[in-house]
A and B are shown apart, each in its own frame.
Chain A
Amino acid sequence: MADLSVKVCGVDFKNPIIPASGVFGYGREYEELFPLDKLGGIATKGTTLHLRTGNLAPRIAETPSGMLNSVGLQNPGIDHFIETELPYLLTKDLVVLANIAGSTPEECAQVAEKLEATDVHMIELNISCPNVKQGGAAFGTSCEMAAEVTRQVRKVTTKPLVVKLSPNVTSIADIAKSVEAAGADAVSLINTLLGMRIDINTGRPILRNNVGGMSGPAVFPIAVRMVWQVANAVKIPVIGMGGVSSGRDAIELMMAGASAVQVGAAIFTDPYAPVRIVEEMNEFLDSKGIASVRDIIGTVKPWT
């Protein structure tokens, strides 16, 4: 049995696997299938200052080896999260990353401020949601805006601050450097890639929002490349995600430089995916005689 524990921003994870924000709600629905303490952590559904109803349906479309979504940050608001969902999650033995979002840097800071008095373990600031008209990816696609929103949130929180980055940019490494300089303790990547599908019988886009965020195995090589580029560009830890569906994928992302790994769309295909991935990582490490998963972080040997 290999040692699967990792530490990110001083926070101990029993294993590196975290269901990604948006696929897992606040955990309740999946606890019907397995105990949440099998997970290293949970990134909660993106939560805003006030309740949001989200976009009209359809919000989901299948794509080759993946999917599109345009949920549009539907959530019950931060007060409900703090009163109802967070106390429940804090009774579980796992790291809680509260994923937060807002339409303006000030609104993001207000949400973070409300979490300051709670026992939440980490904040994951979403500056990369492709499905909302204001804020969201607009923050994540310019170095200046990404830095500004990070600075505003940094001012009001002492919690470890993870900034979740958009892949829909020319240089994700430059964005990562900007948020690092603005006070981020870690970055997580990649959020979904902007995509579109059209029903050729009706001429209508499948998503009511026309466009949506693409995820699933199809985006995995992009995630590996971006994690590698960012890990080489910043000194803060990188939490990797994007199309991970097996223990081998998770190992690969960690070799590229990720200190922990989030799992998203794979959970829709196999609801047990996060638990299975932990087991598969252990098997791989044992088969290679590697004592600790920490020993593989950033160990890719690039060709020169």
Chain B
Amino acid sequence: MKYTQGKYIITRKTAIAKEIYSFTIQCPEVAEVAQPGQFVHIRANGFTLRRPISICGIDKEKGTLRIVFEIRGEGTAEIAKLNEGDLVDMLAPLGHGFTVDSSFGKVVLIGGGIGTPPMLPLAQIYGGNATVISGFRNASAVILQDDFKKTGAETILCTDDGSAGIHGFVTESLRELAAKSGIGAVYACGPMPMLKGVAAICKENGVFCEISLEERMACGIGACLGCACRTVRNDEEYFAHVCKDGPVFKAEEVLW
């Protein structure tokens, strides 16, 4: 099985910041095959289009997935109305995830705002070999810091206004780390300007970099070609699709 569609029970729901929710979902067959960087496509009651949400946790033993999402509009607001014990209609797991390779040695995981959740499964794999740089607008938007600390990863917190952690952008911290040698890979998810900055720093320093992109999506499985992304493959321009070719791309492939 690559992906499946079904209704799964929400076993835990918590509000972890303003308009940001965490669901733990009992879905053994999905958890069994899910990979870091993949996403789930959730039906919002009363809406035509499903909403793609990245996977924030995979527990194959318990058969659960965790997702963390922000209310961005009416669709995600509808999904946020679901409660513990309710069923969530999911098409999952979807997309092409991160390249995980222990030979990378030290890795840097970068999350910007609601782009932070997909970094957690990577932190769980890389543990003490990972440094997590996460950036948020302000202290009240900060999420998942305790979860990252539990993985053994080093954490660097940045806020745009300095109300928590370092006053500044994640790219500044990355630049400092990249100046020291020994980083094997950088993984990032967040706003496009941040990803562009991360990709540029990695290119300058010759570091392997994968980024997770976001796009408005319909089918979620590569059939409708709605979520186009301009990329280069084999020296030719290629309109890739975020749902199937991504959401994770090698940074060097993306045409910004």
Interface residue stretch chosen among A18-26, A153-161, A182-190, A288-296: A18-26
Given contacts A32-B2, A268-B49, contact A56 B224 (CB under 8 A): no
B107-132 with Cβ < 8 A to chain A: none
Instruction: Enumerate chain B residues within 8 angstroms of A61, measured Cβ to Cβ.
Output: 216
B235 to chain A, nearest CB (A): 16
**Which residue of A is nearest B242, CB measured?**
A57
Interface residue stretch chosen among B10-18, B54-62, B151-159, B225-233: B225-233
CA distance A56 to B216 in the complex (A): 12
Establish whether residues A67 and B218, one from each chain, have CB atoms under 8 Å apart when the complex forms.
Answer: yes
Establish whether residues A33 and B5, one from each chain, have CB atoms under 8 Å apart when the complex forms.
Answer: yes
Establish whether residues B49 and A32, one from each chain, have CB atoms under 8 Å apart when the complex forms.
Answer: no
A222 to chain B, nearest CB (A): 16
The SS class assigned to the B binding surface is loop
Q: Which of B48, B74, B230 has the most CB of A within 10 A?
A: B48
Establish whether residues B48 and A29, one from each chain, have CB atoms under 8 Å apart when the complex forms.
Answer: no
B4 to chain A, nearest CB (A): 7
A271 to chain B, nearest CB (A): 5
CA distance A62 to B72 in the complex (A): 13
Given contacts A32-B2, A53-B239, contact A45 B48 (CB under 8 A): no
CA distance A56 to B225 in the complex (A): 11
CA distance A22 to B226 in the complex (A): 10
Instruction: Enumerate chain A residues within 8 angstroms of B222, measured Cβ to Cβ.
Output: 25, 29
**Which residue of B is nearest A52, CB measured?**
B239
Any chain B CB within 8 A of the CB of A152?
no
Given contacts A58-B215, A67-B218, contact A74 B228 (CB under 8 A): yes
Instruction: Enumerate chain A residues within 8 angstroms of B229, measured Cβ to Cβ.
Output: 57
Any chain B CB within 8 A of the CB of A265?
yes
CA distance A71 to B48 in the complex (A): 17
Establish whether residues A60 and B217, one from each chain, have CB atoms under 8 Å apart when the complex forms.
Answer: yes
Establish whether residues B47 and A23, one from each chain, have CB atoms under 8 Å apart when the complex forms.
Answer: no
Establish whether residues B224 and A23, one from each chain, have CB atoms under 8 Å apart when the complex forms.
Answer: yes
In which size bucket is the chain B interface? 20 to 34
CA distance A61 to B224 in the complex (A): 13
- B225 CB contact (under 8 Å) in A63, A71, A206, A268: A71
Any chain A CB within 8 A of the CB of B20?
no
Q: Which of B4, B47, B217, B227 has the most CB of A within 10 A?
A: B47
Instruction: Enumerate chain A residues within 8 angstroms of B230, measured Cβ to Cβ.
Output: 56
The SS class assigned to the A binding surface is loop
CA distance A25 to B219 in the complex (A): 10
A1-55 with Cβ < 8 A to chain B: 22-25, 28-30, 32-33, 45, 53-55
Establish whether residues B219 and A59, one from each chain, have CB atoms under 8 Å apart when the complex forms.
Answer: no
Any chain B CB within 8 A of the CB of A272?
yes
Any chain A CB within 8 A of the CB of B96?
no
Any chain A CB within 8 A of the CB of B3?
yes
Establish whether residues A69 and B224, one from each chain, have CB atoms under 8 Å apart when the complex forms.
Answer: yes
A293 to chain B, nearest CB (A): 26
Given contacts A54-B228, A59-B228, A62-B75, contact A30 B223 (CB under 8 A): yes
CA distance A54 to B241 in the complex (A): 12
Establish whether residues A268 and B224, one from each chain, have CB atoms under 8 Å apart when the complex forms.
Answer: yes
Any chain A CB within 8 A of the CB of B66?
no
Establish whether residues A59 and B226, one from each chain, have CB atoms under 8 Å apart when the complex forms.
Answer: yes
B179-230 with Cβ < 8 A to chain A: 215-219, 221-230
Establish whether residues B223 and A29, one from each chain, have CB atoms under 8 Å apart when the complex forms.
Answer: yes
Establish whether residues A67 and B224, one from each chain, have CB atoms under 8 Å apart when the complex forms.
Answer: no
Q: Which of B2, B217, B228 has the most CB of A within 10 A?
A: B228
Instruction: Enumerate chain B residues within 8 angstroms of A267, measured Cβ to Cβ.
Output: 219
**Which residue of A is nearest B4, CB measured?**
A33
Any chain B CB within 8 A of the CB of A195?
no
CA distance A271 to B222 in the complex (A): 13
Instruction: Enumerate chain B residues within 8 angstroms of A53, measured Cβ to Cβ.
Output: 237, 239
21 contacts between A and B (CB under 8 A): A23-B223, A24-B224, A25-B223, A29-B244, A32-B1, A32-B221, A33-B5, A53-B239, A57-B215, A57-B216, A59-B216, A59-B225, A59-B227, A60-B49, A60-B216, A62-B47, A67-B218, A71-B224, A268-B49, A268-B50, A268-B219
10 additional A-B pairs beyond A32-B221, A62-B74, A268-B219, beta carbons within 8 Å, are A23-B219, A25-B225, A29-B223, A57-B229, A59-B216, A60-B49, A74-B239, A265-B48, A267-B219, A269-B49
